[in-house]
Chain A
Amino acid sequence: MGLKPLAEALRRGQQPLAVVDRSRGYHRPSGARLAGLMACDSFEPWLSRRTARRMSPASRSAVCAARMALDAAGLSATAEPDGSTAVCLGTSYGSTNYATDLLHQIQDPGPLGISPLLFMETVANAHAGQIALAVGATGPNLTISQREASGLLTLARGADWIRVGRARRVLAGCVDEVSPILHAILDRFGALARSSSTEDLEVARVFDADRNGFVIADGATVLILESAAEAEQRGAATLATVAASARANDPSASVSDWGAGHVQLARRLTGRLKAQGVDLASIDLVVSGASGSRRGDRLEALVLREAFGNDLPVVLAPKAVTGEYGGGFLASAFLALDGIDWAATPGFRRADPELDLTPHAGEPLARPERILVTSLAAGGAACWVVLDRSTA
């Protein structure tokens, strides 16, 4: 819970992995076993046990993260009831634990025995709704689901809302939970890191020549977005400024994998940033959403190479530590901007000659002024956000 354990994991380059429950029969015998699981059975003081019992694991994480963010921002735990506080939350799969339980109920005892609570929490926007209920946020309430790009898309959309006045304050972020069935399905699709014939170790080898998949993780990250003027007026410490964002799609992507449209994506990235007055030459550091996926990392590397040419700055790959989906990636981007110590990319051993990209190797990093955060999703969606370090 909180940013400190995440910062420590990034500093040490340690993936907090645990064995997934394989007792329900969804997994192949030789399939993947590990995931980044939250080792937390109490959410107090952010959420009482009684309230937590009425929520899915994803909703619990989301509400806790929202309350922690409000607290860290020096804001009241309850929003003003004037519709000015919005929620924009991303999720890739929602509560797959509750969805599985609901499907079991449909089978036995049958549809007449379905629990309304389970159903309510399987709806994709349940987590954003629970945040709104918990903090009294009566502004726009949007859930974005675009697989691996969900979290970063909420940051871009939330910033848009502030700019055009749809909200004065936005709780933006993402949440996901690991369930045995989601883990098993992604493994069957060959998406997850797995042991090799020479090594009994499931590690996300981001950008490595031998990468063979990502590690999924659960958890949530919520950020508070507001205008610079608003933050200044209330004397808030500003963590970062959203300088620009870009969104795109790669139609060459298949249903469940990444495509090969790096030229078009890079063109879209540079064009959109330029339109917002941001030159890629001003980027000090890239916080990459690469995860260890074979095709995803390839596309990411080729987009960065196409966009930056020979001037690619240091590339951090936090998903080598945080895993995919859980929100840790989004929080890592802000930690990178804060200038924390950052270990060499765990799992990276051998550069892929096709990618020509070696992620951060552990050398001391100067505190960046401006970073580019990237997310390319299976299925084609892409999002990039440029964050500036606050001068306040």
Chain B
Amino acid sequence: MERIVVTGLGAVSPHGLGVERLWKGLRSGRTAIGEVNLFDATRHRTQLAGISETGEVPLGAAARRLSRADLFAIEAARQAFADAGLAGAESRADAGVFFGSSTGGMFEGERVFFDNLKGQQKSRTRARARMWAAQPVCSPANAVARMFGLHGPLETCATACAAATMAFESALESLRSGEVSLAIAGGSDGLCEMTHGGFNSLRAVSAQPTRPFRADRDGLNLGEGSGVVVLETETHASARGATVLGELAGAGSSCDAHHMTAPQPEGLGAQLAIERALQDAGVKAGEIDFINAHGTGTLHNDCAEWNALCRVFGEGAGDLPLTSSKGSVGHLLGACGGLEAVVTLLCLRAGEVHPTPGGGQVGPDCPVDLVLDQPRDLPEARTALSLNLAFGGANAALVLRGAAPGASS
């Protein structure tokens, strides 16, 4: 089976535009979570989230019909293509797009809806009504495919918080089968009032910056942005002399079939997803050097995730360095798997794992080896696991490898 390699990275996160800003923010150990300014958050139970800025791609009139999530996706894809040396339209025309998203352009849809309810002037409502076109959840993937002139398969995975991770799984299959030799995979989501209010209605949101895996954790913070990678077959990358940044070695997924909003407490479903990803990658559990956990900071998630890790890694689970990017940028919902895959590859490239912001003791019910305060050096780290658990019981895991020292194609 041909290796599927990573040749480009792109990120829009609450730390800023680009992977360098993301990495700098993550390394600093500070959180980018702050006050929500997109809507009147004072009406909600909590007011914090990780807000991202949109990119500066010169889109002209086309931007008028793009949602924030579309703009995040386009900017991240632009970075990733440039990083991969695929700035020319011809070089990427046959690429497939495999994207995860959960809300698409819901934020813009909400604005139109509320304007209508308030009886706003018709001209304003009409102007905003065209934004409904960008409301569907597939809108970010469509925007990327359209803006970059891509003719390959187009697939939006809408599996909530596991969406982007499952998009990687789809991309992997399409690359391995020969359907495409080049793909862009990841996710994009924008914050909207519906999800902020909805997660608050579930009492899943913390009023403070989230504290994944801590004893006093009390919920997540939402976030927004995009994380994207360029994937290609090793043959394709080699033929064009691309620099290999890493490898998508395997993917696996499962469903708890237990509860719509709560994880299976023993982590059985997550265990299955991890084991399948390891098997798919041909990697033994003992070869995993660190974990980028789903790590939402909710009582139930972090505990279920720890139980899943114990089932897979046995007594060694507590010795595996583990981080939660959500502690730094918030929970990007359908995009989190995309951004966290980028982060995992950045960690492998740097030979260190970024810290999870926030103080406090690790919870006795989830005694992971949480990287705290400052980056942890792992110069020998070669293989890592990125895990995401979602609404509806969906679980998905990726096994990622760093580039071999001095590697190019």
Chain A residues within CB distance 8 Å of chain B: 26, 83, 86-87, 91-94, 99, 102-104, 106-107, 110-112, 114-116, 119-120, 122-126, 128-130, 132-133, 135-147, 153, 157, 160-161, 164, 166, 181, 185, 188-189, 247-251, 253-256, 261, 264, 268, 272, 275, 379-382
Contacts and interface: CB of A to CB of B under 8 A. Distances in A.
14 contacts: A103-B194, A125-B160, A138-B257, A140-B169, A141-B393, A145-B138, A146-B156, A164-B177, A185-B132, A247-B155, A248-B154, A249-B97, A249-B150, A249-B152
B351 to A, nearest CB: 32
A120 to B, nearest CB: 5
Given A145-B156, A248-B151, A125 B201 contact: no
A126 B151 contact: no
B189 to A, nearest CB: 11
A157 B155 contact: yes
Contacts of B166: 140, 142
A172 B201 CA distance: 31
Contacts of A145: 101, 136-138, 156, 158
Nearest to A161: B173
Contacts of B134: 255
A254 B145 CA distance: 11
Interface string B112-147: 011011000000000001001110111101110110
Interface of B: 43-45, 65-66, 96-97, 101-102, 110, 113-114, 116-117, 129, 132-134, 136-139, 141-143, 145-146, 148-160, 163, 166, 169-170, 173-174, 176-179, 193-194, 196-202, 253-261, 269, 272, 276, 390-394
A111 B47 CA distance: 12
Given A144-B158, A146-B138, A122 B198 contact: yes
A125 B394 contact: yes
Contacts of A275: 178
Given A102-B194, A114-B197, A124-B137, A137 B158 contact: no
Given A83-B272, A188-B129, A129 B136 contact: no
Contacts of B65: 255-256
Contacts of B154: 146, 247-249, 380-382
Given A111-B43, A116-B201, A275-B178, A380 B173 contact: no
A142 B253 contact: yes
Contacts, number: 225
A247 B390 CA distance: 27
Contact of A144 (B96, B157, B173, B256): B157
Contact of B146 (A119, A164, A251): A251
Contacts of A153: 155
Contact of B201 (A93, A104, A114, A247): A114
A138 B138 contact: no
Given A133-B260, A145-B158, A146-B156, A251 B151 contact: yes
A40 to B, nearest CB: 23
A256 B159 CA distance: 22
Given A255-B65, A256-B133, A128 B260 contact: no
A122 B43 CA distance: 21
B155 A112 contact: no
Contacts of B136: 92-93, 145, 147, 379
Given A129-B260, A133-B393, A249-B152, A119 B44 contact: no
A126 B201 CA distance: 17
Given A137-B255, A139-B255, A147-B138, A126 B129 contact: no
B392 A138 contact: no
Given A112-B43, A129-B260, A132-B392, 4 more contacts: A86-B255, A115-B201, A133-B260, A249-B151
A80 to B, nearest CB: 11
B248 to A, nearest CB: 15
Residue among A83, A124, A161 having the largest count of chain B Cβ atoms under 10 Å: A124
Interface centre among A86, A157, A261, by most chain B C-beta atoms within 10 angstroms, is: A157
B257 A189 contact: no
B253 A140 contact: yes
B160 A133 contact: no
Contacts of A116: 198, 201-202, 261
A66 to B, nearest CB: 12
Contacts of B157: 142-144
